[in-house]
Amino acid sequence: MNTILKDPLLKLRPLKERDIDVIMTVERRCYEHPWTAGIFRDSMKVGYHCWGYFLDDQLIGYVVMSEAAGEAHILNVCIHPDQRGQGLAKRLMTRVITCAKEQQVDTVFLEVRASNRIAQGLYESLGFNEIGLRRGYYPAGKGREDAILFAKVL
């Protein structure tokens, strides 16, 4: 199941502005309401932690995390649909949590769609706890969807 994590062609590296086109290809494939290229560009310019997994030079997953004033916020976690279920999201999350600890962050926050039970299970397995609900936070096909707010104290 986790054989991809042992693949010698799998590389984790910081994302750069030159990666935005391939990021957008994955983002559009994964989300009905994707981030824009401008959001990714701005995230990189302000110094957010942006990491990507590449398999044989193909982007297969990424994470974006902001950090300031002792808090971190995981803004986007995305795994290409063809690569899901192999532990990549957990590995990416572990990477940014480590970054947060290195920056002396006290708490890491994130939101997740109320309908995304798989992601919720991942976050709980990493020690995140549900701390709130943001009603109508996400755009959805028929209106808006609630977000569950999670936090992990480091």
Residue-level pLDDT, tens digit, the chain, 154 residues? 467 777 778 899 999 999 999 999 999 999 989 999 999 999 999 999 999 999 988 999 999 999 999 999 999 999 999 999 989 999 999 999 999 999 999 999 999 999 999 999 999 999 999 999 999 999 888 899 999 999 999 9
Kindly name the residue from 53, 62, 67, 111 that is annotated as catalytic. Answer: 111
Q: What is the pLDDT of residue 46?
A: 97
User: pTM, whole model, 2 decimals?
Assistant: 0.92
Q: In this predicted structure, what is the pLDDT of residue 90?
A: 94
pLDDT of residue 107: 98
In the set 48, 53, 62, 123, the catalytic residue is 123
Q: Say if CB 151 and CB 106 are below 8 A apart.
A: no
Cα–Cα dist 124/48, whole Å: 24
Instruction: Confirm whether 71 is a catalytic residue.
Output: no
Two structure tokens written together for 115? 């309908």
Torsion of CA 117, 122, 125, 126, to 10 degrees: -140
DSSP code for 85: T
- The question of whether 123 is a catalytic residue gets the answer yes
pLDDT at 6: 74
Which CATH entry fits the domain spanning 3-153: 1.25.10.10, 3.40.630.30, 3.40.190.80, 3.40.50.10490? 3.40.630.30
Q: What is the pLDDT of residue 151?
A: 98
